[in-house]
Amino acid sequence: MNPFDLIALSFGALRERKLRAALTVAMVVIGVGLITALNGMTTGMFQYMIGQFSTLGANVIIVQPSSSSFRMTEPVRMTLERLPNVKDAVLFIQQTAKIESGGKTKASIVIGIDQTKLPLIFPAIELDRGNFVPPHDSIGILLGNRVANPPDMSVPFARYGQSVTVEYSYLEGQKMMTAKRSFRVEGILAYVGTSAMFIPFDQMASISLAAANSLFKRGGGYDGLFVIANSQDLVEGIMNQIRNIYGTSVQTISSKSIIQIVQNVLSMFQLFMGGIAAVSLVVASVGILAGLYTSVMERTKEIGLLKALGFKNWMILMLFLNEAVLIGVIGGAIGNAVGVVLGYGMAVVAGQARGGLTQQIPTEQGLGTIGYIAPIFPLDAFVTVWLFSVALSMFAGVYPAWRASRLDPVVALRKE
């Protein structure tokens, strides 16, 4: 008898025990589905996070004071700009404020920066309309796409060429004061897709550094600066030079270091969640072992008859082992499909729970957004999980198959 005949016999035995086989396969499907879904969600989240942080150039370092005792000033910028392998150093101011337009008010972060340097710092930034505000322009403002076109409004909040008012409150002594200034919308950014992560340019407005220094009454003090290295390979060395000069007075961070931290965290999370999901497969393997062992007990007389007909021990062994493998093959394949559906379902629920994180997707009209982080399912992940389910099923079936192959045919035929 060839191996294909043995596989056919094994498949027939599973069909005869439909209910038990279906329950055992269902256990494998649940375990494989959970692992596939969690892997897809974690991979999707990691790619999403990389996309968020990649808005900041890989050769850019953010330098900020680590305490209020250190003052970020123009001399600090000049010192860092003169470091070897540094292309530029760009100061910035950021302040939470209210923007008023046409009787409507919207809270936003307003950043003051030399906008001519923005493409160096954020390579993904593009203009939808207008131009960047020149460094010494005191009345121009650049709006993020979601500031000008909020997704919850049917009409734009502000249009290109329109006047808007920036208002913010500050404490002077023990009295709360309010400062206002009118600006003209000189430009509107194309959608970046930062979704309130890291530096959310879609939800920000930008004015010149001089205008921010005056409006927010900083007196020549800044919130930080961007150091642009000649190459991303030089970032770590420049960060060490900055630490050597200012010690713990400043903190430095780069997109590369952020991505590494995120990757480590998500890898641990994936390992943890994968371990939890793998428990389902272990439970399924116990079910396979119990099911096949019971099958051996129920089919003792049948095994004796097969041996009497000339079946050798290895044929009996392969007959039952094939049943276990078929359970793993079928359960693993269905489980992968269920995992894809489950992954998308869990992603939608999680996205709504987090307040509707969005992700860009291509549409016929260009780039659109979806209200969740789409899971990603690499082909090798499907193959790995499927092979794992088959291997675990085979392992669970070894003892029952061995037990069946060792039965004495005379004793087996006498069993009622």
Q: What is the pLDDT of residues 297-344, one digit of tens each?
A: 666 666 666 666 677 777 777 777 777 788 888 888 998 999 999 888
Q: Helix, strand or coil for residue 107?
A: strand
Q: How many residues are given for the chain?
A: 416
Q: Roughly how many angstroms between the first and final C-alpha of the chain, as a whole number? A: 28
pLDDT higher at 206 or 297: 206
Please report, rounded to a whole number, the percentage of residues in the chain having pLDDT higher than 90: 34
Nearest to 9 by CA among 414, 288, 309, 290: 309
Q: Helix, strand or coil for residue 172?
A: strand
Do residues 186 and 131 make contact, with C-beta atoms less than 8 angstroms apart?
yes
Where do the domains of the chain lie? 3-53+260-414, 60-230
Distance in angstroms (rounded) separating the CA atoms of residues 356 and 349: 9
Please check the confidence at residue 359 and state whether its pLDDT lies above 80.
no
Q: What was the pLDDT predicted at 175? A: 85
Owner of token pair 């010494």: 136
Q: What was the pLDDT predicted at 158? A: 94
Distance in angstroms (rounded) separating the CA atoms of residues 215 and 223: 14
Mean pLDDT calculated for residue range 364-376: 59
Helix 18-53 vs helix 379-405: crossing angle, to nearest 10:
150
Distance in angstroms (rounded) separating the CA atoms of residues 390 and 395: 9
pLDDT band for 211, please (50, 70, 90 cuts). Answer: very high
Please check the confidence at residue 408 and state whether its pLDDT lies above 70.
no
pLDDT band for 392, please (50, 70, 90 cuts). Answer: confident
Buried/exposed 304-328: b ≥16 CB within 10 Å, e otherwise:
bebbeeebeeebbbbbbbbbbbbbb
Nearest to 293 by CA among 399, 414, 409: 399
What is the dihedral sign for C-alpha 98, 99, 104, 106? negative
Q: What was the pLDDT predicted at 127? A: 93
User: Which letter does DSSP use for residue 133 in this model?
Assistant: P
What is the dihedral sign for C-alpha 209, 210, 215, 220? positive
Q: What was the pLDDT predicted at 365? A: 41
pLDDT band for 122, please (50, 70, 90 cuts). Answer: confident
Distance in angstroms (rounded) separating the CA atoms of residues 278 and 380: 18
pLDDT band for 363, please (50, 70, 90 cuts). Answer: very low
Each residue's pLDDT tens digit, 12-66: 555 555 666 677 778 788 888 888 888 888 888 777 776 666 566 778 899 999 9
